[in-house]
C-alpha cells in the first residue's frame, strides 16, 4: 500500500476507536439504570443488539489496527526513541487487552 493509504488507515483507526468507546459504554444502552428484571422484551433485545454491535465495531477496529500496524512495520521506522520490538510489544499488549474486552462482552460480563 502507498504511504498515504497507511496514514489514512491510521486516522480511520482513531475514528473507529471513538466509535468503539461510545458503543461499549453501557450508559448508552437501552434500559440503562433499569433493573434487569424490569426491562421489557424490546429493551432486552435492543440492549443485546447494542452489545453485539459494539463487539462487531471492536473487531473491525482490531482488524484495521492490525492491517495498519503490519503495513507500518514494512516502512522504515523513524527514530522516535522506541525500537520496532518495543512498539510491536505494545501493539500486541493492546490487541490482547481489546480481545479480552470483546471476550468479556460476549460472555455478558461487565467491561470495567
C-beta separation of 61 from 13 below 8 A: yes
Mean pLDDT of the chain: 84
Mean pLDDT value across residues 52-78: 82
Contacts of 16 (CB under 8 A, 6+ apart): 57, 60, 61, 64
pLDDT, tens digit, 9 for 90 and up, residues 70-95: 877 766 555 556 666 777 787 787 78
Task: Please name the residue that has the C-alpha cell 500486541.
Answer: 92
Name the band, by pLDDT with cuts 50, 70 and 90, for residue 55.
very high
Q: How far apart are CA 64 and CA 58, in angstroms?
A: 10
Q: How far apart are CA 31 and CA 37, in angstroms?
A: 11
Whether the full predicted model's pTM is greater than 0.75, yes or no, is no
Least confident of 49-58, 70-79, 101-110: 70-79
pLDDT, tens digit, 9 for 90 and up, residues 10-21: 899 999 999 999
Q: How far apart are CA 23 and CA 1, in angstroms?
A: 30
Name the band, by pLDDT with cuts 50, 70 and 90, for residue 2.
confident
Burial level of 68, CB count in 10 A (0-12/13-18/19+)?
buried
Amino acid at each position: 500500500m502507498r504511504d498515504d493509504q497507511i496514514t489514512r488507515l491510521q486516522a480511520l483507526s482513531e475514528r473507529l476507536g471513538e466509535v468503539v468507546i461510545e458503543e461499549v459504554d453501557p450508559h448508552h444502552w437501552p434500559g440503562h439504570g433499569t433493573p434487569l428484571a424490569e426491562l421489557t422484551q424490546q429493551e432486552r433485545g435492543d440492549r443485546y443488539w447494542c452489545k453485539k454491535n459494539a463487539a462487531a465495531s471492536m473487531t473491525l477496529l482490531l482488524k484495521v489496527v492490525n492491517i495498519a500496524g503490519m503495513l507500518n512495520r514494512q516502512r522504515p521506522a523513524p527514530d522516535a526513541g522506541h525500537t520496532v520490538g518495543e512498539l510491536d510489544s505494545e501493539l500486541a499488549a493492546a490487541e490482547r487487552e481489546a480481545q479480552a474486552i470483546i471476550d468479556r462482552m460476549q460472555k455478558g460480563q461487565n467491561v470495567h
